[in-house]
């Protein structure tokens, strides 16, 4: 009877969820999102489904090595489940499930069965997802691959549950987390030492080539030798059984591999069901925390998803009078955490200068590690223009769910927008300046046949240091504009939309933002080019670059100023009753 | 409970909240329709009505959180639509759920609020406020470390820091313990006596009976009646003069008092 009720709940949960998704396709924003999301998934995953995979395939002679490595990875994951966790066994339920199921006349074992059944959804999706991703390197029959992944995930799920129960039992018997970790790590250490000793005396290492390296064929043979002789094959035996279905080439091999793998799963299931551990209290707490975290994530508030454990230090002394926008800037810097204090940045700059000059004094040739680091730093600084605004979201994207609070502040809209975007812009600029400093210190003296003078390097770095923060401001204004113009496309409410139509919406927004960024940067880029080409015959090129950078920065600042004014007006007219409050 | 007389004579006191023809539409749905009333300095007005009457929408419109579709709202003589900053500088709105920033401590919340409202002497004002609200020893705590009631007290401390002349409360007693409830009632009365115009939305009729001088009853977004408690009671009492406010509410809104 109880099982029937739980099946009923699960079936209708899915049915209603699916119906809601289908119904909302009547809204254009979801329909467009669904079309773009569908095309994306088709293009990326399903296009090659019937063509037997693409990309690099694992050759048959390497299958066994790959299986051994997969078993080793599984062993590490299982060991981590005994080492890392520190809390009591807690099954993850939603708050509604806790409210309805925990006080109901339902036995603990039924709850575990329900949880196992429910987790099958995630496991099945994960298995299909891995099958689709894995086709680029594994190929093979998709059903066999999906089944193989299902066995691995289901086994890991059962083990995770069983080990959490066992850990709780050990805690109840007085074995602390640290003692358990020491015991497990000790056992692992003894086992590893035994294997290494055995290898040392029985398996000769691969021959070294000139320069102390060895080639991949020998390395492969050596790894195969390790995995197939001595004690390691015995240690890996159960794990090989679990991963074997993943490597089945046909239905016959799959059937043969499935038997033992299901046997291992059966043993784990028996272990889980035999454990009688009270998980309810910890589950209630977990469900509360999960609900809070999900609400924060769905509201786009990733910072709040990580609830601050301790108070952040004020990045600077906020005076009680002055431009109110500074208060928002200060607040968002506090929310970014302790890394944003001036002390932390001074420390970082000193490290960069010290390590940079140390490295630079040893290797400054093109192709050396210093030069590689310089190019890496430049590349990261360039990339930060794209990933920075996506990662640093402590602006309106974080605060819009609290827009009713912002709306009450006695400050004009442009100040709200300015205050909101300043913090991520400042953090991003600081990161970029640090990267520029690395590049400046380590940049090679010669690039091919051209020599790079110190003056030239400094002028390029200064021009970039002036221009980048202005570009950051514009790059950050774009997603904030998207939030204000298309708030429904951002996940604001507690029950924000999910699914592939949302992926489509994100893709549309991303391409839209890139397009707007490119258009916004075009005038400044043109101005830079004009100034550089007009002045370079008259001035040293280092000075022309600096001058061009300064003109471009002024143009970008003007654009940013106009953008802030425009968005301020939008914020003032922004009707929360139609957006945030309706979703909240 | 004895209510001390206000510091300002109410008849001569200026109207600090003036609402004229306020209408708010959600799409085609009228949440509030053609609402007009005023609240003078020192008056405490209770906003009551059944669920869906438009109380919270009214409060949000008055606080400038959402724009009115039609009509005007003046706070201390400043039009909320054309002079929003001047108007907002003079008001405080306390929603039923305290809205705080997870990553700011109690002290940082006060510092932040002081900068937003330009309260130069916020330390001198904030300290007694925190002591009055009994959270003076929690200045370095994050909201996550505070109980529901303490969070509400912090929200109140932040809201009162700039000494607002107009105060809006949405269900102010939610989550408070009996001592907190007592202190909240005293605090409302104290602000009223000091000359603030206060509007309280609540379903707790006994609270309104205890602290309010005036009442405004809404139903389906429309005003049924507003006036002093005595006037409203007299209007809806039948023959007997000692009609309870609960009975007045049921008669005014035409709701059934019987249990389901």
Backbone angles phi, psi at B37, to 5 degrees: -170, 170
A263 and A373 housed in the same domain: no
In whole angstroms, what is the distance from residue A63 CA to residue A75 CA?
Answer: 18
Q: Cα(A238)–Cα(A271) distance, rounded to whole angstroms?
A: 15
B52: phi then psi, degrees, rounded to nearest 5: 80, 10
Task: Quote ipTM for the complex.
Answer: 0.86
Domain annotation covers residue A101:
yes
Q: In terms of domains, do A340 and A271 share one?
A: no
Based on the structure, what is the number of domains in chain A?
2
Interface of B with A in 211-240 (CB under 8 A): none
pLDDT, tens digit, 9 for 90 and up, residues B93-104: 998 888 898 889
Would you call A89 helix, strand, or coil by DSSP?
A: coil
Burial of A111 (0-12, 13-18, 19+ CB in 10 A): buried
Contact A507, A34 (CB under 8 A): no
Regarding whether A334 and A254 lie in a shared domain, the answer is no
Is A303's CB within 8 Å of B103's CB? yes
Q: What is the pLDDT of residues B97-134, one digit of tens each?
A: 888 988 899 999 999 999 999 999 999 999 999 998 88
Q: Do A93 and A56 belong together in one domain?
A: yes
Contact A408 B122 (CB under 8 A): no
In a domain, A307, yes or no: no
Task: Answer yes or no: do A582 and B122 touch at CB < 8 A.
Answer: no
Q: Which of A453, A309, A442 is nearest to A379 (CA)?
A: A442
Which of residues B257 and B2 earns the better pLDDT score? B257
Residue A114: inside a domain: yes
Instruction: Specify whether the CB–CB gap between A522 and A514 falls below 8 A.
Output: no
> Between A and B, how many CB-CB pairs are < 8 A?
101
Model confidence pLDDT, tens digit, residues A495-526: 445 566 777 777 887 888 889 899 999 999 99
Q: Does A268 lie in the same domain as A416? A: no
The answer to whether residue B91 scores a pLDDT higher than 90 is yes
Whether residue B84 lies within 8 A of chain A, CB to CB, comes out as: yes
Same domain, A328 and A468: yes
Residues A71 and A238: their CA atoms lie apart, in Å, by: 8
A402 touches chain B (CB under 8 A): yes
- A183, A220: one domain: yes
Please tell me whether residues A525 and A379 are part of one structural domain.
yes
What torsion, rounded to 10 degrees, do the Cα atoms B23, B25, B30, B36 define? -10
Contacts of B96 in chain A (CB under 8 A): none
B93: which strand partners?
B168
Domain locations in chain B? 1-90+166-177+193-254, 98-163
Q: Which CATH architecture has domain B1-90+166-177+193-254?
A: 3-Layer(aba) Sandwich (3.40)
Looking at the DSSP bridge assignments, the partners of residue B72 are: B20
Least trusted range by pLDDT, from A163-172, A259-268, B186-195: A163-172
> Could you tell me if residue A313 is inside a domain?
no
Residue A577 lies in a domain: yes
CB B89 within 8 A of CB B59: no
Q: Report how far residue A263's alpha carbon sits from residue A144's, in angstroms, rounded to the nearest whole number.
A: 18
User: Are B118 and A411 an interchain contact pair (Cβ–Cβ within 8 Å)?
Assistant: no
Listed range (A289-303, B53-67, B212-226) with the worst mean pLDDT:
A289-303
pLDDT at B200: 95
Contact call for A573 and B115, based on CB within 8 A: no
Do A132 and A195 share a structural domain? yes
- Print the domain residue range for A494: 322-583
CA dist A118 and A124 (Å) reads 11
For chain B, give the mean pLDDT. Answer: 88
Task: Identify whether residues A290 and A382 lie together within a single domain.
Answer: no
Phi and psi of A9, rounded to 5°? Answer: -60, -45
How far is B123 from B208, CA to CA, in rounded Å? 33
Q: How far is B1 from chain A (nearest CA, A)?
A: 34
Question: Cα-flanking dihedrals φ and ψ of residue A426, to 5°?
Answer: -65, -40
Of the candidates B67, B66, B58, the residue with the CA atom closest to the CA atom of residue B19: B58
Position A310 in a domain = no
User: Tokens 């773009």 belong to which residue?
Assistant: A36
10 Å CB burial of residue B39 (0-12, 13-18, 19+) is buried
| Residues A87 and A193 reside in one and the same domain | yes
Residues 6+ apart with CB under 8 A from A493: A298, A299, A401, A580, A582, A583, A584
Rounded mean pLDDT, A387-408: 86
| Residue B259 in this model has a pLDDT that exceeds 50 | no
Residue in chain B nearest A403 by alpha carbon: B65
Distance of alpha carbon A133 from alpha carbon A500, whole angstroms = 16
Q: Is the distance from CB of B102 to CB of A300 less than 8 angstroms? A: no
Has residue A445 been placed in a domain?
yes
Average pLDDT over residues B193-218: 92
∠ CA(A83), CA(A87), CA(A93), 5° rounding? Answer: 120
* Low-confidence winner among A136-140, A229-233, B130-134 (lowest mean pLDDT): A136-140
Task: Return the number of other C-beta atoms located less than 10 Å from residue A107's C-beta.
Answer: 9
Q: What is the mean pLDDT of residues A77-96?
A: 82
B186 has a chain A CB within 8 A of its CB: no
């Amino acid at each position: 009877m109880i099982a029937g009720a739980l099946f009923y709940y699960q079936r209708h949960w899915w049915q209603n969820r699916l119906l809601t998704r289908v119904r909302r396709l009547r809204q254009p924003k979801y329909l467009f999102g669904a079309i773009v999301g569908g095309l994306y998934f088709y293009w990326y995953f399903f296009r090659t489904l019937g063509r037997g995979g693409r990309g690099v395939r694992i050759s048959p002679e390497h299958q066994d090595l790959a299986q051994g490595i997969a078993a080793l990875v599984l062993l590490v994951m299982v060991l981590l489940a005994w080492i890392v966790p520190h809390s009591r066994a807690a099954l993850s339920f939603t708050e509604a499930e806790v409210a309805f199921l925990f006080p109901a006349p339902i036995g603990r074992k039924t709850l575990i069965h329900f949880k196992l059944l429910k987790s099958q959804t995630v496991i099945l999706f994960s298995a299909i997802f891995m099958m689709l991703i894995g086709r680029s390197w594994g190929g093979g029959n998709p059903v066999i691959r999906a089944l193989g992944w299902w066995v691995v995930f289901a086994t890991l799920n059962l083990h995770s549950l069983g080990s959490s129960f066992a850990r709780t039992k050990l805690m109840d018997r007085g074995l602390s987390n640290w003692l358990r970790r020491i015991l497990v790590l000790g056992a692992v250490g003894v086992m590893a030492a035994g294997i290494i000793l055995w290898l040392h005396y029985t398996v000769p290492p691969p021959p070294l080539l000139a320069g102390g390296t060895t080639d991949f064929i020998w390395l492969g043979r050596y790894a195969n030798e390790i995995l197939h002789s001595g004690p390691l094959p015995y240690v890996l035996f159960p794990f090989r059984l679990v991963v074997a279905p993943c490597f089945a080439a046909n239905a016959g091999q799959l059937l043969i591999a499935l038997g033992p793998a299901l046997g291992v799963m059966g043993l784990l299931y028996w272990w889980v069901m035999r454990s009688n551990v009270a998980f309810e209290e910890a589950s209630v707490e977990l469900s509360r925390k999960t609900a809070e975290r999900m609400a924060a994530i769905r509201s786009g508030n990733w910072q709040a998803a990580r609830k601050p454990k301790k108070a952040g230090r004020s990045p600077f002394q906020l005076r009680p009078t002055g431009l109110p926008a500074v208060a928002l800037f200060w607040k968002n810097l506090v929310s970014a955490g302790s890394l944003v204090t001036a002390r932390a940045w001074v420390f970082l700059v000193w490290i960069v200068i010290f390590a940079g000059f140390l490295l630079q004094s040893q290797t400054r040739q093109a192709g050396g590690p210093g030069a590689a680091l310089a190019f890496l730093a430049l590349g990261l600084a360039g990339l930060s223009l794209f990933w920075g605004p996506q990662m640093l979201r402590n602006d309106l994207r974080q605060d819009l769910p609290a827009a009713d609070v912002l709306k009450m502040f006695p400050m004009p809209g442009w100040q709200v927008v300015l205050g909101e975007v300043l913090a991520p812009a400042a953090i991003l600029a600081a990161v970029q300046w640090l990267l520029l400093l690395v590049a400046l210190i380590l940049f090679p003296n010669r690039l091919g046949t051209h020599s790079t003078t110190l003056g030239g390097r400094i002028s390029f770095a200064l021009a970039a240091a002036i221009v980048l923060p202005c570009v950051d401001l514009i790059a950050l204004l774009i997603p904030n504009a998207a939030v204000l113009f298309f708030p429904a496309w951002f996940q604001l409410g507690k029950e924000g939309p999910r699914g592939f139509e949302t992926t489509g919406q994100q893709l549309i927004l991303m391409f839209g933002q890139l397009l707007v960024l490119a258009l916004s940067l075009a005038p400044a880029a043109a101005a830079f080019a004009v100034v550089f080409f007009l002045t370079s015959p008259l001035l040293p090129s280092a000075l022309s670059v600096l001058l061009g950078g300064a003109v471009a920065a002024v143009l970008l600042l003007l654009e940013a100023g106009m953008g802030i004014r425009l968005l301020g007006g939008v914020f003032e007219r922004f009707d929360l009753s139609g957006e945030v409050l309706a979703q909240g | 409970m004895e209510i001390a007389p206000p510091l300002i004579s109410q008849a001569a006191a200026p109207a600090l909240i003036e609402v004229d023809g306020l209408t708010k539409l959600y799409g085609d749905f009228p949440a509030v329709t053609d609402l007009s009333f005023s609240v003078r300095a020192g008056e405490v007005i209770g906003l009551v009505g059944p669920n869906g009457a438009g109380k919270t929408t009214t409060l949000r419109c008055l606080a400038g959180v959402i724009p009115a579709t039609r009509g005007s709202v003046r706070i201390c003589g400043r039009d909320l639509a054309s002079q929003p900053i001047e108007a907002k500088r003079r008001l405080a709105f306390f929603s039923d759920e305290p809205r705080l920033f997870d990553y700011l401590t109690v002290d940082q919340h006060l510092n932040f609020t002081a900068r937003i409202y330009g309260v130069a002497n916020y330390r001198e004002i904030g300290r007694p406020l925190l002591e009055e609200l009994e959270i003076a020893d929690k200045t370095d705590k994050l909201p996550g470390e505070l109980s529901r009631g303490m969070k509400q007290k912090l929200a109140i401390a932040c809201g009162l820091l700039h000494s607002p002349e107009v105060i809006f409360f949405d269900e102010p007693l939610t989550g408070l313990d009996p001592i907190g409830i007592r202190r909240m009632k005293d605090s409302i009365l104290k602000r009223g006596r000091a000359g603030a115009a206060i509007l309280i939305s609540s379903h707790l009729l006994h609270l309104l009976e205890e602290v309010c001088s005036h009442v405004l009853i809404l139903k389906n977004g429309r005003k049924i009646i507003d006036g002093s408690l005595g006037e409203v009671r007299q209007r809806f009492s039948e023959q007997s003069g000692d009609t309870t406010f609960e009975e007045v509410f049921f008669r005014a809104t035409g709701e059934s008092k019987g249990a389901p």
